[in-house]
Structure formats: C-alpha cells, structure tokens
Structure 1
Amino acid sequence: MNPAPSGLFRLQAGAWGALGILCAGLLGHAILFDEEVPFVRAAGGPAWIMAALPQTADLIAVDPAAPPAYVFRKQFQAGAKGGEAHLRGRALRHALVHLNGESVPLVARGNGWKQGFEADLRGRLREGTNNLRVSVSNPAGPALVQLEVDTPGGRVVTDSSWQVVAGPGAPGYAEVATDVALHPESRQLPTPLEGAPRQAALLFLIFAGTAGLAWRRPGWTRRIRDAHWPVLTLAAITLFWLALFGLKFWRIPLGIGFDAPGHLAYIDFLLEFRALPTAAYGFSTYHPPLFYAMTAALVEFFGVTADTVAGRIVYHAIPFASGLANVWLTAWVARQLWPQEGLRPSLAIATAGLLPMNLYMSAYVSNEPLLAAWVSAALALGTSVLLAQRVRLRVLASLAGVLGAALLTKFTALAVAPGIAFFVALRDGWGEGRGGPGRALARFGGLMLGAGAIAAWFYWRNWTLFGDPLVWNLDVPGAATWWMRPGFHTSAWYLDFGESLSHPLFAGYASFWDGVYSTLWGDGLVAGMARASTRHEFWNHPFQGLTYLLALPVTGVMAAGAIRLWQRSLVDPSLGRRLVLSMHTAVLFGLAFSLLLISLRLPFYAQAKAFYLLCGVLPLALASAEGLGGAARWLGRSPGPWSRALGCAGLGWLTSLAACIVLAHLG
C-alpha cells in the first residue's frame, strides 16, 4: 500500500486531530470529573478557602487513616426563624457541616467532591446570630472548602472573613485558596543581574567580540555550514564532558541529587541481599531495577565502596556515560536527517551537549539519564530503520531490546515505547512492496513482544504483590503517605510565567512554566534540596542565574523549531523522512502532555520538572537545530545591513549563552 501524497497528508492530519481530541478529552476529564485530580475551580461560585499552608518545601507526612480535620467557622445573622434557607458547597475532600451545634445532613450532588453537596436548612436557622461549622479533612493535601448559604437575610459565602482551626490549635483567619506562591527563601537571593555584575560584563564582552568578528569577517561564519563541522562540534562537546567528569562530577558527594538517598538505598539492598526489593521497602524501590542492578554490578565488579574516591567514580559512571551517549546518539540521528549539511547537525549536537538539564542530571546518581539514553537509542535505531532501503533483522532485535531496557529502567518509558514501535511498524504498511496493515501490525506486535520479554516480569511481579503493575511509593497498601505544597492546583498556576527570570530557584512555586523553565536551563531545584541555603557549590551560581536570561530567546526559537519539524512531517516528499519526523515530534508531544497531566494528578511544586522530559532530549535538540537553522537561512536570504547585523547579534548571543553554560558547570 503506497498512499498518494494527498491521501497520506489526510491520514496524518486525521491522526493528529484524533490525538488532539483524545488529549483534550483526557485533560478535560481530569479537570472536571476525575476525583483523584485535586484541581479546583470557582465555576462562578464563591471563593475556595483554606488554612494557611505550612511554610516548607519538605514532605508533609499524613496518616491516611486519620488525616487532620480543619474546622471552618462563620457567624452570620438571620431574620425571622423558619424562613427558606439553602446550603450548597464543595470540599476537598470530606466535609461535615454543623449549624448551631446540630449536624446537618448533606445530599451529594454527584458521585464525588467535585460535584459537591447541598442541604435544606429550613427550620434550622435561628433569629439573630447563627454559628456555621464545616469540618474538612483531606488525606492527600490541604483541606479546602467552597460554600454558599442563601438565607432570607442575605447570602453567606466563603471568604477570608471565616475562621479556621486545626485540632487544639488557636483559630486564625482562612485564606482564599491559591496555589501560586513563593518559596520561603527565593526572594532572599539576589536576581541574576544583581548577583553577577562581573560575570554579566564578561558575557557582554564575549557577545560583542563574537558579533564584531562576524561583522568584519562574514566568510568565517559561512564556513560553519561545512559538512565537517558536526565532527568538530562533537569532538569539542565530548572533551567538555570529559573535563566535567574529571574536574567536577566524580567529586560530587553521592548523597547529593534528586532522591539520591533513596537511589543509594536501592543499590545497597541489591549489594547486601542479592535480591530485588519490593515497592514497600523504601522511597525509591518502586522503580524498575535495571539502573540499580547495573550500578550494583559495577560496584561489585570493581570491588569499591561508596565512601572512596574509586567508589564515587563508579557510582557516577552510568549517569555520566548515559548523558554523553545522548549527545552521540543525537549526532547520529542529525547526520542521517541532514546529510551533507553542517549547520543543523552541529546545532543539534551542541544543544544536546550543552542543555543544562542533561548536564546536571548526568552528575547525580539517578535513573533518569539511563532512561534518556535508552530512549535516544531507540529513536536512533528507529530513524535508521525508517530511512534504510533494507531493514536487517538484528537492527529490529536491537530496537526491541532497547525498548525493553527502557521499560525496565523507569515507568516513563511506557509513554514513548509504543509510539516508537508504532512508527517503525508503519514502514511495513506503507510503501511499494510492503505488506499493508497486517504486516505493520505484526511488526508492531513483534517489537512490543520482544520488549515485553525483557521487562514484563517486573510489572507482573507488582501486579501479583500489590494488585497494581505501576505501584509507586504513594500507592503501597498500608504505607505512610505524604504530600507537598500546594497539594491542589488552579488555572492560575498554569497561566503565569516570569518568576524564573528574576528568582529561578524553586520557581515552580509560582507557576508550572516557571518550574519547567528553571529546571530546563539550570538546576532550579538545587539537586532536590528543600532549601536554597543547603545547595551545593559545585556549580557556578552567578553564571547559572544569567543562563536563564540568555536562554529565553533560544527557548522561543526551540518551540518554533518543534512546530517547524511537525509541519515538515506532513509535507516532506520522502515517506521515510515523514515517518521519522512524525516519530520524533510525537514523542516530544507525548512527553510534554504526560508532564502536564502528571502535574495535575500530583499537585506538588516539584512536579513541574523539565528533566521528566530528559528522555526527549534528542527530539528537543533536533527542534532547536531546526529553529536556529531556519532563522539562519531566513537571515541569509534577506540581503541588507539590518539582516546582517541581526545575524551577527544572534551569533554573539548564542556564543555568550554557550559560554555561560560552560562556565556555570565548569567554572
């Protein structure tokens, strides 16, 4: 089956449209109906109110069998006894209402807390002063309530005039519920420009020098387009990474990093007991075991301990090698996509090698870099298959093995592995001499069965032990549970941006986009520490702060490049290239949507982390190369001094950004 270009475009457009409708439906269901998603909406009613949230970035432990109850109180005046009165409200999550000391039976307006409750207060009001008490408990976050009472004397609604008390504590005034906040220490630190005037001056000199050189010697910039530049770029990036490991990475204490103590405890268990722990054992033991088993095997092979220099080198080896592998795999894919071209492959390699989230995550003991390397390898093998004239069985077997390894490293792989297998299988359904849908389905099944043969046992083990193949540390039956601020979300948290440009550390308190931006372009969550005062000193913080300012235009160009890749996936004359570009853009979109959805389900400020997209670093680097390369081509086609000046300024800006990132991690 070889569809005509117009027919293929209709198929692709229909598929993307269906995907968009599906994602919109999932998002709408999560916001409006899913009782497990604590997203609150005023919906034209009164404000949601809550007690003041604890001023902490730490985990807040809760006994799920006896969560704390918050009592919201309000006195109001009513006219003559016996008039009509009606109460309507919603509570996150469980509410009991008392009026003048008597329990008020509530009638549910639906199947859960999002639909709310109501009550008929006829005959329950007193003439004069009435006392309304609403007791709210929530085992997974703060207690919130939204209430309105219609009485003959007027309307009573929840607002900041209500009082709230927890347990035996003193009452205080309630607050209008908001998930937009500031970390307790964020504003105690200077802004990037306030804290780094000398560093900013140095970067300005780099900018001016590069732009001036490009203006005086335009032939020098044109040589960047030569086909040998990707090799030079890859060599330079590799030397930079090796220098980082030799000077910085191995020296970072093993306990520094995101959930590092939990990761180390997992490895220690394997070394001590020669057995696999269950999800109930520790904070991180719900993860699939491949990263931990590989690290434990290296530790055992070299006979080292964690408290020695050799031990730190061994423990850091896999994350470092995985991060560098992302760079090399990006180079492989970029050269396949843009053969005989120098600019875009070089830009893709530089993006993968200098993207701060790839750098700092590769410095910590974590399973994220290894997962990213497996997914990048799967994308690279998939690209090779889709662009090849003839597919070798060993390449397909390697792809199935890599997908299985990814599934055995982190649950995130479940969001991308089927998609990669799907696009590779389409090669057998489209094109001259191909077998049609049946052959494509068989190829997809073969790839997924091969991956499942490697990883399925772990998910089956979870199912038999806990009744959930994807059990994690909040779902273990009988285990203590916890939450983090804010514990719920509103639309305001998703519709703001800017805090990360002035106070980037813990910027996820302010908005979703600030959280993602501050962890994409720097270690904005300070290696998983709960406070800025405990951050380590292995990074150059003044240069890291300036990176956020310099990276803003590049972020916009990167987003434009992603859109451009998606457009090309619909119109490229080569079927293989269409499938390749569709695969990369679909993986990037799927990961981004998954991050958005998980931030709703787990409403913690630290969930807005860009490195949850680390396994999408390869398509992200391609998007950056497409955006920057497209900008360079557009400027090259526009004669005149203004376009030339803009091109020189852009090159100076990119050079100063690259220098800033290098100095932030190596300086």
Structure 2
Amino acid sequence: MKLKTYSFLFFTAFISLLILQLHNLSLFPPTKGFDAGGHIEYINLIKSERRVPLANEGWELYQPPLYYFVSVFLPDLKAVQWLGPISWLLIGISGFSVFRRAFPSHRFTGTLLLISLPVIIYLTPTISNELFTAALISLSLAYYWLKYPLDNPRHQLLLGLLLDLSLLAKATAWILVLAILIDQLRLRRPVVTKFTLSLPKGYLLFTIVLVASWFYIRNLTVFGNPFATSVDFPQFAITQTPVKRDLKFFTDLSAFTKLDLFRAHWYSFIPGTFFTFFYDGHNIIVPIQPFSKAGALLAVASLPLTLLALAGLIKLLRSQNHRSHIFILYAFLLLAAYIAYNFKLPLYSSVKGSFIASVSLPLVFFYLTGLQSLKPKLKNLTTPYLILYVILVLKNFWLLAKWI
C-alpha cells in the first residue's frame, strides 16, 4: 500500500473516531453511566463542603479525590464530561510515544487500535474516574518504558509524580506501583533496594509517600483498611443475587458460542469480561437487545486481535526484552486483582471490562509484538482489518437519540 493511501486511511479513521466521540458527548446525559449519580454526589460534596469525604459517607465517596478535585473547577457537569475525550487523547498519546519507538512501522496501527477499543469508546462520555485513571496509568506505563531502566534521578522524580496522580485518581494504580517495584527489584536497582530519603535514590518512593499516601493512611487510621470502600459498610450492602465463583463460572465459555453479549457477565467470567471489554455488555451506550448483529460482528472481529495479543505475550515471556516486562507484570497483577475482586463481590456487576481498561496499552503492545511474527502476506491484511474494525466500532457506538 502506498504511503499516501496509508496515511489518508489512518487520518480518516482517526477523524471519524474523533467525530464519534464529539457526537456521543453532545448527546450523552451526564447522569447516565456506571454509578454516575455517585460520582456527581462526590463533586457536589466537595463544592459545598470543601473537604474529601470518608468512605462510609456515600456510594462512590470512597474514591481518591483527584478526578473530583479537577471536576470542581469546571463550570457544569457537561464540562466535566470533557475529561473523557481528554483522557481518550492522552491514552492515544501514551500509546503513540511507545509504539513509535518499539514498532516504528506500526506506530499508527497501534495507536488507532488503542483509541478504538470498545471499552475506551463507551467510557469516554461518562462522568467517572475509570477512563481518567486509565489515562494516568497509561502515561505512567509509557514514561517508565521510555525511561527504562530509570537511572536518571530526574526521571525517577517525574515518574513518581505521575504515580502520585494515578494513586490519587484510583487505588488501581497501586498495582502499577507494585509492578514497577517488582521490575526494579528484579534488576536490583538501588532506587528500591532500600528506602532512603537521600537523593537521588529515594526520589521514586519519596514522591509517592509524600504526595499520595495521605489518602490511604487516613483510611487506615479511620477504618483500619487503607482500601476501604463503601461496600465494606452495612448501610451500602449490595442487594444483587450472588453468583457462585466456582470452577464452572471461570471456565464456562458457552456465551461465546451463543454470542450472549448482554448476559454473559451474569454467569461466566471470561466471556463476560470479553463482551464488556470488546463490546458494551453493560449497555452504557448500546441498549440491551435480544440479539445485535453489529455487536456480534464486532465481538467476532475482536477475536483475531485477542489471539494475536496472546501470541505476542507468549513471545515476550520467552524474550530477553527486559524493558517490556513491565507490561507483562502489570497485566498479570491487574488480572489477579480483578479475579480477587470477583471473589470479594461475587456479583454480575463485578464482571466488568471497565475495571481493567488500563490494560489497553499493554494489550495493544502484545498485539503489535505478535504481529511481527506474521508472514508478510498476513501482515499486509492488518491495515484492512483495522479499518474494518474501526467501521464496526463506529456502527455500534454511534449514539442514537432514541437510545437515551
């Protein structure tokens, strides 16, 4: 394919996705989405009382405060929704900064795939800290990968500040902190072999402890649990019917054969997660339907990228590319935390692709790694495949007024 044609296709696809996001933002009600009312309550509480709430005061009031602090300075809820498209762009920038170094000839392919993932698309217009956190974690991951092995004290400091912001956005960021510590310990870097406030060795841990830990220390002091959430208190006990987390729940793949897009998360872990990551199984934008042909096509079209990502993951596990091991560490630790959360809350609402939205950058990195192993003829099909994928995303997620 000629370079001009290639560039035109990718530019057109990006502009199409941008128009999709702006269109959805214009129609999507601020009060719609995952627990939007709880997030709005948090914003209003900070505005009126000028304080960070405690975890036992409201449904979403256990969340770290950064997203809500930023929201307070915006004029209205419609303006708060703009944090979604900004986060979407930051995720794309994070990906491009990595892909242009790791896969120069596929930097646009990877970036376009990253910003067209359904979980990213349907989270964009919502008032929620999920995509905001995914953007900060993606920036932190990208910066760590770019500055690996993190010998420069200035790089340690800047990464620490990025991690601070991530930790003050959502507790999920502690998984990234753990992944980085494990990666650095594996390399036996002095920055984490002992805690010291002497410069430069203590920059990374010092900035994390200094800026971000106050929120979690407060929880530990007040509730005896640094990660206290609303469901830990009886007044917020969930009334959903529990679904037993047994071997069948974690191995049942029948929803794939039935293409049970909107119900899989009620009874199966893998298809439920797949259909809420690569489709809108929790119907944030797309309404529940008996069967969606367009949704089924998108789900089927997501299988090749998933399989290629698995192949890339296996290739990375076998390689000596230590720089990229952070993506593997973060992905596995996030998956482990996600499974643990499902045991803690064995409910249909706990199977949710949005909980692992921050794995999007590692996922596309794995995909591009797998892509390098394809034969030239198959590799030439990746551009048409990606354009088709974007078309299916546009078809499925173009918000219609009658859906609201």
Fold-level similarity (TM above 0.5): yes
Cα RMSD, aligned residues only: 3.1
User: TM-score, normalization: structure 2?
Assistant: 0.88
Matches of residues 55-454 of structure 1 in structure 2 within 5 Å?
220=1, 223=2, 235-236=11-12, 238-297=14-73, 299=74, 304-306=75-77, 312=78, 314-338=79-103, 341-343=104-106, 345-386=107-148, 392-423=152-183, 429=189, 445-454=202-211
Does the aligned pair in 1 maintain the 2:157–2:203 contact within 8 Å?
no
State the number of aligned residues.
396
Task: Find the residue that maps to 2:231 and give its secondary structure.
Answer: coil
Query: Is 1:565 matched up with 2:340?
Result: no
How far the C-alpha of 1:331 sits from its partner, in A, is 0.6
User: Aligned equivalents of 1:528 and 1:286: distance in 2?
Assistant: 26
User: Aligned equivalents of 2:283 and 2:368: distance in 1?
Assistant: 28
How far the C-alpha of 1:557 sits from its partner, in A, is 1.6
Task: Find the residue that maps to 1:494 and give its secondary structure.
Answer: helix
Partner of 1:459: 216
In structure 1, what residue type is equivalent to 2:38? G
**Could you list the runs of 5+ residues in structure 2 that have no partner in the other structure?**
400-404
Partner of 2:391: 659
Does the aligned pair in 2 maintain the 1:295–1:315 contact within 8 Å?
yes
Task: Find the residue that maps to 2:178 and give its secondary structure.
Answer: helix
How far the C-alpha of 1:543 sits from its partner, in A, is 2.6
User: Aligned equivalents of 2:10 and 2:186: distance in 1?
Assistant: 32
Query: Is 1:603 matched up with 2:346?
Result: yes
How far the C-alpha of 1:336 sits from its partner, in A, is 2.0
In structure 2, what residue type is equivalent to 1:271? K
Which of 288, 300, 306 is the equivalent residue of 1:555? 306
**Higher share in strand:** 1
Identity rate of aligned residues, in percent?
Answer: 22
How far the C-alpha of 1:528 sits from its partner, in A, is 9.5
Task: Classify 1:652/1:332 alpha carbon distance in 2 versus 1 (closer, same or farther; 3 Å).
Answer: closer
Partner of 2:360: 617
Query: Is 1:495 matched up with 2:251?
Result: yes
In structure 2, what residue type is equivalent to 1:244? L
In structure 2, what residue type is equivalent to 1:263? H
In structure 1, what residue type is equivalent to 2:22? G
User: TM-score, normalization: structure 1?
Assistant: 0.55
Does the aligned pair in 2 maintain the 1:428–1:440 contact within 8 Å?
no
Does the aligned pair in 2 maintain the 1:357–1:522 contact within 8 Å?
yes
In structure 1, what residue type is equivalent to 2:342? S
Task: Classify 1:592/1:438 alpha carbon distance in 2 versus 1 (closer, same or farther; 3 Å).
Answer: closer
Task: Find the residue that maps to 2:253 and give its secondary structure.
Answer: coil
Of 451-460 and 651-660, deviating more is 651-660
Which of 611, 628, 632 is the equivalent residue of 2:371? 628
Deviations 1:225-247 (A, max 9, x none): x9x97x87875565234312321
Does the aligned pair in 2 maintain the 1:322–1:370 contact within 8 Å?
yes
In structure 2, what residue type is equivalent to 1:394? R
User: Aligned equivalents of 2:117 and 2:308: distance in 1?
Assistant: 14
Higher RCO (CA < 8 A, seq sep 6+): 2
**Could you list the runs of 5+ residues in structure 1 that have no partner in the other structure?**
1-219, 307-311, 430-434, 536-540, 572-577, 637-643
Partner of 2:402: none
Does the aligned pair in 2 maintain the 1:258–1:528 contact within 8 Å?
no
Task: Find the residue that maps to 1:550 and give its secondary structure.
Answer: helix
Give 1 or 2 for the bigger CA radius of gyration.
1
Does the aligned pair in 2 maintain the 1:402–1:451 contact within 8 Å?
no
Task: Classify 1:651/1:245 alpha carbon distance in 2 versus 1 (closer, same or farther; 3 Å).
Answer: closer
After the TM superposition, list the runs of 4 or more consecutive aligned residues in structure 1 that deviate by more than 4 angstroms: 231-238, 424-428, 435-445, 646-654
User: Aligned equivalents of 2:167 and 2:182: distance in 1?
Assistant: 16
Task: Find the residue that maps to 1:527 and give its secondary structure.
Answer: coil
